[in-house]
Amino acid sequence: MVEPAGPSFTFEGRRYPIPPGGTVLEALAADGLPSFQRSPRYHRPRAPLCGLGHCTGCLVRVGGRPNVRACRYSPADGDVVSTRNAWPSRRFDLLAAFDLLFPSGIDTLRGFRRPAWARGLYQAVVRRLAGFDGPPSPDAASGPVDPPTVRRADVVVVGAGRAGRAVAERLVAGGRAPLLLDRGRSAPAIPGAELLPDTTVTFLPPPGPADPPFSLLGFTEPARGLWIRAREVVVAVGSYDAALLFGSNDRPGVLTADAAFALDRPGAAPAFRAGVVFGAGPRARAVVERMGDRIEALIAPGAVPPELVRACSDAGIDLHPRSLLLAAHGRRRVRAVDICARARGPVARLPCDAVVLAHRRLPHVPILFQAGARMQWRPEPGAYFPVADSSGRTTVPGLWVAGSVAGPSTDPAADGDRVARHLLAGGPAPGAPPASLPSSPAEAPPAPPFPGEMDGYYRELLRLPRRGRWVACPCEDVLLEELEAVPQRGYRGVEVAKRYSGLGTGLCQGRYCLPDALLVLSILEGRPPADVGYITQRPPVVPTPLSALAALDPIAATDGGP
């Protein structure tokens, strides 16, 4: 093997060149789809699911620092990257025996109670299984390296995608100086606006009544804390592709369209060569258009629109409209999927090496729940959206939404521009409720009719016999049966379901499990998802290092700051 000459990092004793500006995942993905993580309970092999830095599919250790997202981390020359969650080795993990030994699941809630003398042993084993990695090692303690950062801003725009950029550009043109934040590394600058890349924020209650209405807590990778006060905030954080419930839905090779796009880089080996796409909307079409040569079949929960039928036939992709995706096959990687036509069609097996999920685009709403904006369930695509008027005003004075986080959007840039124009025209003074919006839930517009497409889909799917593990919460390895047990035992509501099953308590904080869990609970409890509820979004919402938080000045936070 040729040793790379330029900057490189090592992974399992092998050196990898660092792609310019690239991540660890991109470097490792040069060989195809990397699968280097194991799930916490059953030690099932896991690969990147989301490509957005939320799931647990790409966790690695960098030097002494555990739980680093390979899909977000840009390695430095000489970094030693490793994974720990396997024994004795990543390729041959004896702990995967748990997957075989407990075919109907490990019942940590009611199991392991007897005999009493074995309690200590059970505890020792279960304790060691928890987590993905050991604690940070002392050499990883960066401490608060940079001075604490406290900022005041006139307007903060969260998200530098098309909508957020359009907002910022319009605000600059209107004489304002917005602060634009983005989790990503590479948003281009906008003259007149300050851009903070690699920065994630969350809302906190304002420190005092005299302060500007918004207090945002953030951190800039790798470990710099940030505290922002802002008079107005525009949330333009966009949307993401949802996960899906089916047998062995956690197999390496099952990935969201977001991840498929993130891994699809010029020069890199493709993450898959013969995938199937699930979905029939604009997102599925984008996958077909960009990677059609690596897609064998398209499976849709409902009808397939004519343009997509045409695009598929041009690319030689088989169509399976109105079908259920039942299960994936393959031990280390997807090799085939079972599908059946809806209304009890026969089961067909399609060989493939990936399942690209492109059926449901969901808004990144945790930050809006947290800001206290009133939310409303929309049956299509089956998600909560902020209650907002056409100008982008939410029910929280001074809080605006723009782009696909506000609702399915065909032209996010135009949305952003419109919202910014309204903001410039002068929203109501902070403190005054927006005139055009209901001020109490009773006045809220009536909820759109329920149910939506995925509701009908799951109603049918959940009645069928199952094979393989149905993983309802991949971060915590919570199985669908464990979620279903909650209403079956007489408990109601998603808050209790979370505490009962552990679903939604992992690293992604519910992004990939809650949307489907709400549908499942709604079906089993026999009431609309909006009544099943939502789990309280608790700061910091995105995993934030203690050192970044420690770098913040608590005094500044309490009495108004510098």
Partner 1 sequence: MTVLARDRYAVAIVGAGIVGLFTAYRLARAGAGPVLVVDRGFLSGGASGRNGGGVRQQWETRATVRLARESVADYRAFGREFGYNIWFRQGGYLFLADTPSELEKLRGVTEIVRAEGLPARLLDADGVDSLVEGLARGAVVGGAYLGSDGTLYPFPAVWGVYEAARSLGVEVALGVEATGVTQRDGRVTGLVTSRGSVAADRVVNAAGGWSGDFARRAGLPVPNVATRHEILATEPMKPFLDPMVVRASDGLYLSQTMRGELVGGLSLPHPPGTGGGMSTSPQFLPRMARTVTALFPALGALNVLRAWSGFYDDTPDGLPVLGEDPRLAGFVHANGFGGHGFMLAPATSRRVAAAVLGTASDLDPALFGPGRFLDPRRAAPVERLQLG
Q: Rounded CA gap, 184 and 181, in Å?
A: 9
Stretch that binds partner 1, among 1-9, 121-129, 173-181, 455-463 (CB under 8 A): 121-129
Helix (H/G/I), strand (E/B), else coil: 180: strand
Q: Choose the binding region for partner 1 from 217-225, 245-253, 289-297, 334-342 (rule: CB under 8 A).
A: 217-225
3-state secondary structure of 25: helix
Binding window for ligand FES (CB under 6 A); candidates: 46-54, 100-108, 213-221, 290-298: 46-54
Does the protein bind ligand FES through residue 38 (CB under 6 A)? no
223 touching partner 1, by CB under 8 A: yes
Q: Which does 550 bind (CB under 5 to 8 A by kind): partner 1, ligand FES, none?
A: partner 1
Judged by CB under 6 A, the chain residues 238 through 297 that form the site for ligand FES are: 259
d(CA 236, CA 182): 10
Least CB distance from residue 517 to partner 1, whole Å?
16
Which of 205, 267, 346, 431 is in the footprint of partner 1 by CB under 8 A? 205
- Rounded to 5 degrees, φ, ψ at 485 are -65, -25
CA distances from 189 to 185, 193, 195, 196 (A): 11, 8, 6, 9
Query: In angstroms, rounded to a whole number, what is the distance separating the alpha carbons of residues 249 and 211?
Result: 47
Residue 560 interacting entry, from ligand FES, partner 1, none, C-beta within 5 to 8 Å by type:
none
Torsion of CA 378, 400, 440, 447, to 10 degrees: -10
Query: Cβ closer to ligand FES: 33 or 480?
Result: 33
For the chain, the first-to-last Cα distance in angstroms comes to 56
C-alpha 48: how far from chain center: 11
17 binds, among partner 1, ligand FES, none (CB under 5 to 8 A by kind): none
How many Cα atoms sit within 13 Å of 296 on the Cβ side? 15
445 forms part of the interface with partner 1 (CB under 8 A): no
Q: Residue 549 binds which entry of partner 1, ligand FES, none, with Cβ cut-offs from 5 to 8 Å by kind?
A: partner 1
Q: Does 57 bind ligand FES (CB under 6 A)?
A: yes
Rule CB under 6 A: is residue 513 a binding residue for ligand FES?
no
For 464, left (φ over 0), alpha (ψ -120 to 50), or beta? beta
Rounded Cα gap, residues 330 and 338, in angstroms: 12
Contact status: 218 vs partner 1 (CB under 8 A): no
Report yes or no: 195 and 264 within 8 Å, Cβ to Cβ.
Answer: no
For residue 331, give the nearest of 3, 559, 546, 44 by alpha carbon. 44
Q: What is the DSSP letter of 322?
A: S
Q: Which of residues 8-67 bind partner 1 (CB under 8 A)?
A: 40, 64-67
Binding site for ligand FES (CB under 6 A): 48-51, 53-55, 57-58, 69, 71, 259
Binding site for partner 1 (CB under 8 A): 40, 64-67, 84, 108-114, 116, 123, 126-128, 130-138, 140-144, 204-207, 215, 217, 223, 225, 489-493, 495-496, 499-500, 502, 507, 509, 536, 538-541, 543-550, 552-554, 557-558
